[in-house]
Amino acid sequence: MNGKTDIIVVGTGVSGLFYALNIPGTKNVLMLTKAAADESDSYLAQGGICVLRDADDYNSFFEDTMKAGHYENDPASVDVMIRNSPQIITDLIALGVEFETKDGELVYTREGAHSRARILYHEDLTGAEITSKLLAQVKRRPNITIVENMAMVDLICQDNQCSGVVACDRDGSIELYHSDYVVLATGGLGGLFHSSTNLAHLTGDAIAIALKRQITLENISYIQIHPTTLYSRKPGRRFLISESVRGEGAVLYNRKMQRFVDELLPRDLLTKAIHEQMKQDESDFVWLSMQDMGREVIINRFPNIFKHCLEEGYDITRECIPVTPAQHYFMGGIKVDLNSRTSMGHLYAVGEISCNRVHGANRLASNSLLESLVFAKRAARDTTANYQVASEGSHPILDLTEYKDLEQLRLAYKTIILEEIERSKVIERIDKA
């Protein structure tokens, strides 16, 4: 038993960190994370973060997002994301985040399915730049405490009201954390897949727990595949070759070194084209060429990609690299409203684990960081404005023997999630028939 705090945030990616930073210092925030605080997918985002450049950009930004999502997006959510984007960038800069500038002005790049350059970036490490600066700010706040290597295994709830988290440490010791509010910021589920750009420990546990606790989910079969990851026979996470590489002019070739597709297609359409080409070529990959950008541009604009590929034996300034699609992003999740409230009282969900329907059936490149930050801030403001102390009767007595065999529980959670994804796919096909 670990007493009671005001707010528990599960996860230390951008959404969880930004939520915590937008909570007043008078409230105590406890952040639990499954691994180390800096081991989140937010660190892996290479390309950048979208922003509304000016009033004239609104219609095209809105249409680009809707079109990429096959118009299954919620227009209200898209509107909220776009209109709040300039303030989010202002907030980030105030917190120490550095974006690429030239002569004192922000520099914008373009990625696939964008009709205009509206993406801010920091080299090819935008996620690491944003997340590291947010984490540094969180560590300075006396009202925020981070507990690492503490994995959520259940929620404490009763009468559809959440009042805490059941978690376990690396040694399997079960800990109970009580609170007035819980915020799920647990990231994606790439760890369930054989080939993914995600960190292996991100296995979507919150989805299984939501199913167990009858919390409403939405679109959980909407799982995005990234078209270009570095092909490798090695086991483990796939290295992402950023969308911005193609936005800056990289091209795709088939086995005969012939260009076969428009590289700026939305991700799902480009992935389909690559799979079809791989089938024709009887190959596990296609070729990506960056050479025409020039050595100086490649090294300065994409230093991390250049370094990693060189370590794998490819000099991207002089030769093509083999790329292949891999699981990348979860667009469904725990259903939330415009303030990130779930169907359970005193429970919020933000970031990749949530589904506010911004992304529809296919996420537009570089909308993920923006969406996470916009709706995390809204969740924090909603919590603050409507704060209520959890009722005395909201802490049920738990049977801890349920968590005795953690390996069996994790396997059960994985099975539950994968079965629900398949079930949702069937329902989706029926609905669209």
pLDDT for the residue numbered 235: 81
What mean pLDDT is predicted for residues 223-247? 91
pLDDT for the residue numbered 399: 81
Three-state SS string over 204-247 comes to: CHHHHHHHHCCCCEECCCCEEEEEEEECCCCCCCCCECCHHHHH
Given a cut of 70, whether residue 429 has pLDDT beyond it is no
44 and 76 within one domain: yes
Given a cut of 90, whether residue 100 has pLDDT beyond it is yes
Longest distance between any two alpha carbons in the chain, whole Å = 70
What mean pLDDT is predicted for residues 220-248? 92
Domain boundary among 278, 309, 327: 327
Given a cut of 90, whether residue 28 has pLDDT beyond it is yes
Which residues share a beta bridge with 175?
A: 167
Contact (CB, 8 A) for 136 and 86? no
d(CA 344, CA 380): 16
Q: What is the CATH number of the domain that holds 260?
A: 3.90.700.10
pTM above 0.85, yes or no: yes
pLDDT for the residue numbered 167: 97
User: Tokens for 191?
Assistant: 């760890």
Phi, psi angle pair for 120, to nearest 5° = -85, 150
pLDDT for the residue numbered 234: 85
Query: Active-site residue among 118, 267, 301, 341?
Result: 267
Domain boundary among 311, 327, 343: 327
pLDDT tens per residue, range 104-135: 999 999 988 999 999 999 999 999 999 999 99
Contact (CB, 8 A) for 41 and 187? yes
208 and 184 within one domain: yes
pLDDT for the residue numbered 243: 85
36 and 185 within one domain: yes
133 and 32 within one domain: yes
pLDDT for the residue numbered 381: 98
Given a cut of 80, whether residue 433 has pLDDT beyond it is no
202 and 100 within one domain: yes
pLDDT for the residue numbered 41: 93
pLDDT tens per residue, range 160-215: 999 999 999 999 999 999 999 999 999 999 999 988 999 999 999 999 999 999 99
213 annotated active-site: no
Closest to 131 measured CA to CA, from 212, 40, 19: 40
Contact (CB, 8 A) for 195 and 327? yes
Q: Strand pairing of 49-50 and 119-120?
A: antiparallel
Domain boundary among 303, 327, 351: 327
User: Range of 296's domain?
Assistant: 224-327
Given a cut of 80, whether residue 259 has pLDDT beyond it is yes
